[in-house]
Amino acid sequence: MAGSSSEVIKSLIVNMVIASSKGVGAVLTGSGAMLAETLHSFADCGNQLLLLFGIRRSRRPADASHPLGYGREMYFYSFIVALLLFTGGGVFSIYEGIHKLEHPEPVGDVTSGLIILAISILLEGWATLGNLKTMKARRGQVGLYKYLRDTKDSDLVVVFGENSAAVLGLLFAMAALVAAKLTDDGRWDAIGSLAIGVVLVGVAIFLAREVKALLVGECADPAILKTAEELALAEPTIARVIRILTVQQGPGEILVAMKLQFKPGLESDAMVDIINKFERDLEARVPDVKWTFIEPDRED
Amino acid sequence: MAGQGVGYIFRALGANFAIAVAKGVGAAITGSGAMLAETLHSLSDCVNQVLLLVGLKQSARPPTPQYPLGQGRNLYFWSFMVAMLLFLGGGAYSIYEGIHKLQHPSSLSSPVIAIAILGFSLATEGWALSGALKAIKARRGDRPLIQYLRETKDSDLVVIFGEDFAACIGLGLALAAVVVTAVTGNPVFDALGTLCIGAVLVGVAVFLATEVKSLLLGESADPALLEVIHQCAAEDSRILKVLRTLTVQQGPGEIVVALKLQYQPDLTTQTIVESINKFEVRLQDRCPEVKWSFVEPDDTD
């Protein structure tokens, strides 16, 4: 649903605070790695801005060139974010890890690094918990993994994927920093970067696959098929449902098209009334249904 | 259209592969690092054509419960990915290289080999481009080329044409830059040539991405279809009015039509069903690309 912009804004603020604290750390320590981290966190803010832009674009009304509106803009920008997470996040971290392995830096003072990481974990954790709470409210009894795979609210999934990958990545970074200090071996830091890169690549691939399915035109939740069939068969003049098809156009926007067999002997007026009543009932039961086309047909 | 043959994709793939081989031979002869980078670049161009072939294959998958309208839009998805790669791997990379050359100008080591390879590449890309233009000519009829490129739903052909076109301009620029550099001995021209190539690639990639993205979001079909729909409706006196029509281009050569028609008030179920089915047959006869139609009798819009 386009209503999750508050989750995106929360993540944006978190990333801005983290970027600023890393920036302060970079100035205090003069570390090049910390400066790179600062730029990296600012790039994360770019992802949230893209999602907010997508939410805005997806609200444009339908026009002649796009008769079903622009809801799918949300999926488009979610996909772009997944791509950026893959390249700017994952591939970049792996490249950095390999570079650090080849040229390990001596382990200096880790105190400021640990403090910044701890602040970042708290903030990202807070954002992730917020996402989890919002998702809990939407998924009800459905398991989390199944919800992530089935939901049509790509913005929420993308923000959650980003935040949880960030928490995991920060934990790796912290462990790597501690291990590097204890063993006085800079290569632990490199291994940390590699692990973070692998996590980001994995999360990005999961997100990209899910969002791509929505982008190319997935059906809506199969439960809607059942609801529509039930409603149709409850109407005594409808003999059977010949064909039913749903398309998830954007978050909270579903098109339903059906071919129904009516009992013989109905007049046009009565048929139109029945169809219109059916459409009203369906939209009342499933408010996400924005377009319905009901064709009377006969069995072939 | 998935059914109209994809010779132009294989032609482009063959051209890019031949160019990659020529550049590879050049790299082996001269030992030039720049020529080796060019070889890799041409090989990555081949990846673009492979992606389009993947898109064509995926888009031909039959409808499934998860994708009730089939997967035609996969072609638009992969076309978009190609536009992105053209932007990053082509345009952004060339601009980066041009800036690098401006900062560290190096004199041309073997301009004759470079000119020979560029000339061969230009001829090969020109051959690929003429193939794409021929395929376009057959489809656009009397429409001007730019209008066809903006209106068509056959994203694979547009993407191939855009790639070949940008490659030809780029090679022409590269040839000019190498000749001027060889004559003047000033490597700045080589760097400027690379920058210009980058700008061309970025421009073409942005055009392609904008067009393909619009298709990916769900564009309406060609507006001419609306007239056909109204004609088909007018041929049945029982249909009083077309209340609402909606067309969606699902994939290349695949259109969904949904409409609401106002019928005479006193018809029976059987008459309406028969009228709708005949209407659908007329519509699909005149526009075979209509793969799904849903016609609802209604009283008001």
Q: What is the DSSP string of B221-233?
A: --THHHHHHHHHH
Rounded mean pLDDT, A271-284: 95
Within 8 A of B272 by CB-CB distance, chain A residues are 268, 271, 296
Say what the pLDDT of residue B2 is: 43
Task: Supply A31's token pair.
Answer: 């570390």
3-class DSSP state for residue A182? helix
Tens of pLDDT, residue by residue over A75-117, are 999 999 999 999 888 898 899 889 988 988 777 778 888 898 8
Within 8 A of B259 by CB-CB distance, chain A residues are 293
Within 8 A of B294 by CB-CB distance, chain A residues are 257-259, 293-295
- B214 contacts A219? CB cut-off 8 A: no
Rounded mean pLDDT, B69-98: 91
Q: Residue A42, exposed/middle/buried by CB under 10 A (0-12, 13-18, 19+)?
A: middle
Average pLDDT of every residue of chain B: 90
Q: How many C-beta atoms surround the C-beta of residue A141 within 10 A?
A: 4
Tell me what percent of chain A is helix, strand and coil, each rounded to the nearest 5: 70, 10, 20
Interface test with A, best of B273, B283, B292, B293 (most A CBs within 10 A): B273
Contact indicator for B56, B27 with CB cutoff of 8 Å: no
Task: Supply A88's token pair.
Answer: 């700017």
**B290 in reach of chain A (CB within 8 A):** no
**B208: closest CA among B94, B48, B70, B63?**
B48
3-class DSSP state for residue A267? strand
Tens of pLDDT, residue by residue over A2-12, are 456 888 998 99
- B258 contacts A293? CB cut-off 8 A: yes
d(CA A257, CA A153): 22
Q: Is the dihedral of CA B67, B251, A291, A138 positive or negative?
A: positive
Q: Which residue has the higher pLDDT, A188 or A107?
A: A188
Could you give the domains of chain A? 2-216 (1.20.1510.10), 223-296 (3.30.70.1350)
Say what the pLDDT of residue A180 is: 87
Rounded mean pLDDT, B8-37: 86
Say what the pLDDT of residue B178 is: 87
By C-alpha distance, the chain A residue nearest B245 is: A67
Q: Which residue has the higher pLDDT, B30 or A71?
A: A71
Say what the pLDDT of residue B3 is: 44
pLDDT > 60? residue B141: yes
- Fold entry, domain B7-217: Alpha-lytic protease prodomain-like (1.20.1510)
Within 8 A of A246 by CB-CB distance, chain B residues are 68
Contact indicator for A271, B263 with CB cutoff of 8 Å: no
**B205: closest CA among B46, B90, B38, B54?**
B90
Q: Residue B126, exposed/middle/buried by CB under 10 A (0-12, 13-18, 19+)?
A: middle
Nearest to A217 among B73, B298, B299 (CB): B73
d(CA A259, CA A275): 11
**B215 in reach of chain A (CB within 8 A):** no
Say what the pLDDT of residue A111 is: 85
Tens of pLDDT, residue by residue over B170-202, are 889 988 988 898 899 888 888 898 899 999 999
Per-residue confidence band for B74, with pLDDT thresholds at 50, 70 and 90: very high
**Under 8 Å CB-to-CB from A58, ≥6 apart: which residues?**
A2, A70, A71, A72, A73, A74, A250, A251
Contact indicator for B34, B26 with CB cutoff of 8 Å: no
Please give the CATH architecture assigned to the domain spanning B224-297.
2-Layer Sandwich (3.30)
Contacts from A182-185 at CB under 8 Å and sequence distance 24+? A184/A107, A185/A104, A185/A107
Residue percentage of chain A with pLDDT more than 90: 65
Average pLDDT of every residue of chain A: 90
Model-level ipTM above the cut of 0.90: no
With both helix axes pointing from N to C terminus, report the angle between B188-218 and A73-84 in degrees, rounded to the nearest 10: 140
Q: Which residue has the higher pLDDT, A286 or B27?
A: A286
Nearest to A267 among B73, B258, B266 (CB): B266
3-class DSSP state for residue A219? coil
Q: What count of residues does chain B have? A: 301
d(CA B292, CA B248): 10
Lowest-confidence pick of A107-121, A278-292, B195-209: A107-121
Rounded mean pLDDT, A138-155: 91
What radius of gyration, in Å, describes the C-alpha atoms of chain A? Answer: 25
Per-residue confidence band for B293, with pLDDT thresholds at 50, 70 and 90: very high
Helix (H) or strand (E) holding B188: helix B188-218
For residue A150, the cross-strand partners are none
Say what the pLDDT of residue B232 is: 96
Q: Which amino acid is at B246?
A: L
d(CA A247, CA B72): 14
- Per domain, the residue ranges of chain B are 7-217, 224-297
From first CA to last CA, the distance across chain A in angstroms is 39
Matching fold, domains B7-217 and B224-297: no
Rounded mean pLDDT, B4-15: 83
What predicted TM-score, i.e. pTM, was given to this entire model? 0.90
How many CB pairs lie under 8 A apart between chains A and B? 128
Say what the pLDDT of residue A7 is: 85
pLDDT > 80? residue A30: no
Backbone conformation region of residue A285, classed left if phi is above 0, alpha if psi is from -120 to 50, else beta: alpha
Say what the pLDDT of residue B190 is: 86
**Under 8 Å CB-to-CB from B163, ≥6 apart: which residues?**
B12, B45, B48, B82, B86, B204
Q: Which amino acid is at A89?
A: G
Rounded mean pLDDT, B135-145: 90
Q: How many C-beta atoms surround the C-beta of residue A223 within 10 A?
A: 10
3-class DSSP state for residue B266? coil
Interface of B with A in 63-102 (CB under 8 A): 65-69, 71, 73-74, 76-77, 84
3-class DSSP state for residue A237? coil
Nearest to B77 among A216, A246, A271 (CB): A216
**Under 8 Å CB-to-CB from B57, ≥6 apart: which residues?**
none
